[in-house]
Amino acid sequence: MVTLIIGVPDSGKSQIAEDLAMKLAGEHRKYYIATMVPFGKTGQERIQKHRMQRDGKGFHTLECPLDVHTIVNQMEPDATVLLECMSNLLGNEIYAEKNQDVEPQELLEHVFVGVKSISKACANLVIVSNEFAMEDSNYDDETRYYVSMMHEMNLKLRDFADDIYEFTEGEWKHHEVH
């Protein structure tokens, strides 16, 4: 089962995702794929907040800011995996030196194939993703590009997910897709 938890930053996505992953896992192993690369004090603080939030919940953390398909052999097939967060993963891939000459659609497909490979390697996959306004007068060209790529990835994830929890209009909504 693939579940997408999607919403604006700081809407409580992580807590919902962790609670759901714990419920889905039951007595089976739980993995937390951490994708954030800590930049500066704010990044370190955010990582520490998430570590404290999941402390004692039995998650096995796998740090993987790029190429998530490379860690599928580290997971047990009956496990539940929490991928936190798609927006970090995609951003890391966009700005990775190795991907500077990769076309946008090819890069999206590379990341999406990685997510699909994780879903095939485990019983449950819970994906956390941010959603951003498509237009904002404060966006520069680089931000517009990232937001556009994130929007495209979220469309792919919506089509792929069996279940979606979405923060919209100030509240959480649940949609069973398949």
How confident is the prediction for the chain on average, in pLDDT? 92
Q: Residue 43: pLDDT above 80?
A: no
For residues 161 and 148, is the Cβ–Cβ distance under 8 A?
Answer: no
Query: For residue 150, what pLDDT band results from cuts at 50, 70 and 90?
Result: very high
Residues near 145 by beta carbon (within 8 Å), at least 6 away in sequence: 94, 104
Q: How many residues does the chain have?
A: 178
Helices and strands (H, E) in the chain, number of each type: 5, 7
pLDDT in the model for residue 159: 97
The yes/no answer on whether domain 2-168 falls in CATH 3.40.50.300 is yes
- Strand order, beta sheet including 2-7: 59-63, 30-34, 80-84, 124-130, 2-7, 163-168, 171-176
Average pLDDT over residues 32-46: 77
Predicted confidence (pLDDT) per residue in 85-137, tens digit = 999 999 999 999 999 999 999 999 999 999 999 999 999 999 999 999 988 88
Q: Is 0.85 topped by the overall pTM?
A: yes
Query: For residue 50, what pLDDT band results from cuts at 50, 70 and 90?
Result: low
Where in the chain are the domains?
A: 2-168
For residues 97 and 47, is the Cβ–Cβ distance under 8 A?
Answer: no
Predicted confidence (pLDDT) per residue in 53-83, tens digit = 767 889 999 999 999 999 999 999 999 999 9
Average pLDDT over residues 138-166: 96
